[in-house]
Copies of this chain bind each other. A is one copy, B any other.
Amino acid sequence: MTKWVYGFGDGKAEGDANMRDLLGGKGANLAEMSNLGLPVPPGFTITTEVCTYFYAHGRQYPQDLEAEIDAALAHVGKLTGRAFGDADRPLLVSVRSGARASMPGMMDTILNLGLNDKAVEALAREAGDARFAYDSYRRFIQMYSAVVLGLEHHLFEDALEELKSSRGHVQDTDLTAQDWKGLAKSYLSLVERESGKAFPQDPRRQLWGAIGAVFGSWMNARAIKYRELHAIPESWGTAVNVQAMVFGNMGETSATGVAFTRNPSTGEARLYGEFLINAQGEDVVAGIRTPQNLTEAAREEARTDKPSLERAMPSAFAEFKRISEVLEQHYRDMQDMEFTIERGKLWMLQTRNGKRTTRAALKVAVDMTNEGLISRKEAVQRIDPMSLDQLLHPTIDPNAERKLLGTGLPASPGAASGEIVLTSEEAENAKAGGRKVILVRVETSPEDIHGMHAAEGILTARGGMTSHAAVVARGMGKPCVSGFGALRIDPAKSTLSVGKSVLKAGDVITIDGSTGQVLQGKIAMLEPELSGDFAELMSWADEARRLKVRANADTPLDAQTARRFGAEGIGLCRTEHMFFDEGRIVAVREMILADDEKGRRGALAKLLPMQRGDFVELFTIMSGLPVTIRLLDPPLHEFLPHTDEEMKEVAAALGSSVEKLRRRAQELSEFNPMLGFRGCRLAIAYPEIAEMQARAIFEAAVEAAAKTDAPVRPEIMVPLVMTRMEFDLVKARIDAMANAVAAERKAKLSYDVGTMIELPRAALLSGEIAQSAEFFSFGTNDLTQTTLGISRDDAGSFLGTYTAKGILPADPFVTLDQDGVGELVRLAAARGREARPGIKLGICGEHGGDPASVAFCERTGLDYVSCSPYRLPIARLAAAQAALGAIATTEG
């Protein structure tokens, strides 16, 4: 027979902290505290299975439930010496929901349940305070009517206001016991009038009403929405906690408060909290009265006269301090606690692992490790890798005032302020003039790279989390807000508008790439801090992980950042990013416009020394670490100018005609560039491009090896391979170039040639390809696009609907689609290894910095992940957690 109800109180409980799934977070912790012998008001938890049953059976309860609840109530009565509806010592209870995960959006608490016209008199007698009793009664009626009976809150507020004004009072405290009693009475008639039924006087009916309301609230719109947003399965259900009331508002020896065992903002290892004398729990959070500090030390720091709990109720405080230490030691984590003191007696109402800032999380984890409370591995598992993003970028001072213009997508974390500029050219000019700017564009293209470099941050009207702007900004570690749909740009007037606000170029704005907010004016920032606890924890993470972590880095600057953030190599150097440099784009365009191979080779010869120079720098910076260089990948039309104006300029610069330029652009234009003439298809059609790049790589390897006196072994990566023969043809060119360079420079070259696996066909045929390829790097961005048939540039139009409806569990460009794309990766890894045991396998692309995706890579046994430099700490920590086989949970 299923047990539906679990009791607790009086130093023992039927459940414990491990029964979170069954009892919910709150219920499990109440049981655990009882088992620890801590003073918990007795009560019981109705399990989440009742909720599941309830919805599976057309909102009916299991047959045995009523008997179990009656027995549990009787036990609570026995422990408290009270009974429902008892004329002398009525049992009053609170009823609270409590799901497995903390879930705002569900039912509010109902307090004082059990009060009725009789019990209120007994309460008045017992408390010796009729005013308190009737105030409690009318609060209960109001709360119950709103939550259970569905009456509008304001009806009750209106009645209270009416009473006050009829009495000429302003504050609640001015009302007498008689006033409250009268109000309770008028509330009761109000309920009967509005609902057509008398307010239930029978406490058991009240209780069943409240239980029904908790279960009902599991399916209210707010709760459903919250579950959608936080990927909480409907099947989990909620538990209901019924617990004897204790009163923090029974006079000056009563109090209520909340506390953390450590400071949740800084992590400092000192009891931290607030309380109010003669108050109920809601009053602390409601903010009507200013709460007092818990400890003397905190009071002194705050320079306030209001006495601390330590001073005001020293013995209750001492008991609470002892309990807080017991709880932290027991749970081995920082606790967030609620307590009530009823006439000098301390009662614990809740404990859970406390939410904290990233900074605090690091300090708590490191301190607890040093205290011997947890192991280094546990410390590593305690930190949410994604939360590190906060640390790695400047953040807006949480205390600063924000003048919000609107919110776009949080495309690249961090915050930045600067003057509005509307073109990349202006951005560069401003930068040269020492001004800080935010580059504002409808969308960015590769030609904006330099403007993006010059800007403090980027704001775009179009494009999703993986648009060009977003990807490039993340790579640069610059804040970016993308897809800010409300933005209208008028280039003619050099203005932009957001709704009714109009701003002009030169006005200062601030963007917060961590939240997507766009703010007016300059706002105070906090700078990142990468040493101390952060460095300590990262070193423990590095001890724990198996996966290597590399960076996607295209420039020497990227490479330096990557090393600073702990890169163990470069997993993806996109050579095309080097092509957009002002000094080079002319030669690149000359190559594209050339009429024949000879013309192309002429233009490529100009690019060779520049590419070689880049690679020498890269190899030098990364000395001793592997560097994977990808051959030219994007379709050539990306390098051509787009506007008439630019065409004219370029034609003039190249000594060509606008007409020819336009014709070539027309020839190269594509309906679906993502599936077009790019990747190794370029190298097949124009092998001279791959040859130039290979030569640059090999010559640079020789030079860098001489310079650093350390061997350089480049890894050359062929993109967008679909068949083995494609790879073989390109590899043959690379090998030939290696032989040529080796002969010319009289050097011995070691290198690997491998391929991106970024097309489903390549994944399927990986066994064949691995016969030639010396490594695979999974290009999961493109592999996601092709496997799912979703263009990431266009996904914005429906992807939001898809994740909201749960059709996709997450944006597949952020978190790897393990069922689809993941299956191809698993399959390709297996086939690749079968053909070439020990083949090096990595992942590059956005997923390399996503914890869930990193965990997938660990499970699949890849050798490394590669991500943008600013994501490296996340990847390192995620890799460690994946190796340790657990996902961090720090919140209760």
Contacts and interface: CB of A to CB of B under 8 A. Distances in A.
A673 B790 CA distance: 9
Given A684-B805, A764-B820, A788-B761, A675 B677 contact: no
Contacts of A760: 760, 786-789, 820, 824
A720 interface: yes
A788 B722 contact: yes
Contact of A807 (B667, B674, B729): B729
A206 interface: no
A801 B791 CA distance: 26
A675 B720 contact: no
Question: Chain A contact residues (Cβ within 8 angstroms of B): what range?
Answer: 35 or more
A765 interface: yes
A693 interface: no
Interface in A754-802: 758-761, 764-765, 782, 785-791, 793-794, 797-798, 801-802
A672 interface: yes
A807 B684 contact: yes
Given A671-B791, A685-B801, A761 B676 contact: no
Contact of A723 (B725, B791, B807): B807
| Residue from A685, A794, A819 with most neighbouring chain B CB atoms (10 Å) | A794
Contact of A819 (B667, B675, B681, B765): B765
A823 interface: yes
A740 interface: no
A21 interface: no
A817 interface: yes
| Residue from A722, A760, A787, A821 with most neighbouring chain B CB atoms (10 Å) | A760
Contacts of A679: 789
A723 B798 contact: no
A801 B821 CA distance: 29
Given A675-B675, A729-B807, A807-B726, A789 B761 contact: yes
Interface in A721-759: 722-723, 725-726, 729, 758-759
Interface string A672-698: 111111010100110000000000000
A806 interface: yes
Contacts of A723: 807-808
A722 B805 CA distance: 14
Interface in A313-372: none
A670 interface: yes
Contacts of A672: 671-675, 785, 791, 793-794
Given A760-B760, A764-B823, A786-B786, 18 more contacts: A667-B797, A670-B794, A671-B673, A671-B794, A672-B675, A672-B785, A674-B675, A675-B785, A675-B786, A677-B794, A677-B798, A726-B807, A759-B787, A760-B820, A761-B788, A761-B820, A764-B820, A765-B819
Q: 10 closest Cβ contacts across the A-B interface?
A: A675-B791, A672-B791, A761-B820, A760-B760, A671-B793, A759-B789, A670-B794, A677-B797, A676-B794, A672-B672
